[in-house]
Amino acid sequence: MYSESFRTNRRSVIPLYYQVKEILREQIRAGQFAAGEMLPSVSELMEIYDVSRHVVNRALTELATEGLIVSRKGVGSFVNPPRFTKQLAILGSFTRSLKAVSNDSFTRVLRREVVDAEPKVQQALELTTGEQVVLIERVGYVNHEPIAVTCAYYPLTVGGFLLEKELANQSLYSLLAEEKGVEPYQADMILSVTFATIEQAEVLDVKEGFPLVCNRGITCDQTRQPFEYSELSYRSDRVEFAITSFRRSSEVQGKLVDL
């Protein structure tokens, strides 16, 4: 396992902690440490790579931040399972996106209530000041592990009926289509890195401040009318995103522009 190709080089300009991190990363990716397997202890890694405790601790901390390992205080560091891949090019419901990852998935409702529309929600849904909206908050599980929490907001005229429906493991888009004839046509999304609040940390079984990938989006129906504003926060250690891009010509502001 510890061949010459997996040794540190003190003459290199690359910091030792980074060398150790990359060596461990390569071993994990090569399958030399399987998912769930415990890495050698800090003392063992110090001896294997002839480096200080500070170097090893920094390497392990960065691997944990990147989601490759999880460190358990007083126990050791363990290899995380591979991330689940989320296709951003597909406009689908939260429930169905989890099913696309694994059949062993489900959702649990955390909140469903009528709330005053915050300015960002009011603007996204093109509401007037003072209007209220329906808030549906759910957490999604894959293989019995919480990986994402979502807050979705709907105008009362669109989502009011959801307050009386059974929502666990149910596609909200399917319910909206059946009850209101509202079907998602287009979604404008923005991805950003956020940090888990106390509430999110408890739900997702991570520490407060843990990095999350937040997908904020406005979904429009077939008439181009916005009917949903959502904030979907994924655990950065469990989910990665796939995006398919095409080179094409598009008419922008009346001119043909080569994108």
Lowest mean pLDDT across 75-79, 81-85, 170-174: 81-85
Q: Are residues 90 and 74 in the same domain?
A: no
CATH of the domain at 230: 3.40.1410.10
Helix (H/G/I), strand (E/B), else coil: 217: strand
Q: Are residues 59 and 113 in the same domain?
A: no
Q: Which of 79, 95, 111 is the last residue of a domain?
A: 79
* H runs (alpha helix) in 1-67: 16-29, 42-49, 53-65
Per-residue pLDDT band for 248 (boundaries 50, 70, 90) equals low
Q: Which domain holds residue 93?
A: 84-242
The whole-number pLDDT of residue 42 equals: 94
The pLDDT tens digits for 124-181 are: 999 998 899 999 999 999 888 899 999 999 999 999 999 999 998 889 999 999 999 9
Q: Which of 28, 50, 79 is the last residue of a domain?
A: 79
Q: Are residues 54 and 155 in the same domain?
A: no
The whole-number pLDDT of residue 245 equals: 73
Residue 75 lies in a domain: yes
Residue 258 lies in a domain: no
Task: Report how many domains make up the chain.
Answer: 2
Q: Are residues 89 and 72 in the same domain?
A: no
The pLDDT tens digits for 110-129 are: 999 999 999 999 999 999 98
Check pLDDT > 90 for residue 92: no
Burial 116-135 (b: 16+ CB within 10 A, else e): ebeeebbebbebeeeeebbb
Inter-residue contact 220 to 255 (CB < 8 Å):
no
Q: Are residues 121 and 206 in the same domain?
A: yes
pTM of the shown model: 0.70
- Look at the block and give the residue holding tokens 């916005």: 226
Helix (H/G/I), strand (E/B), else coil: 16: helix
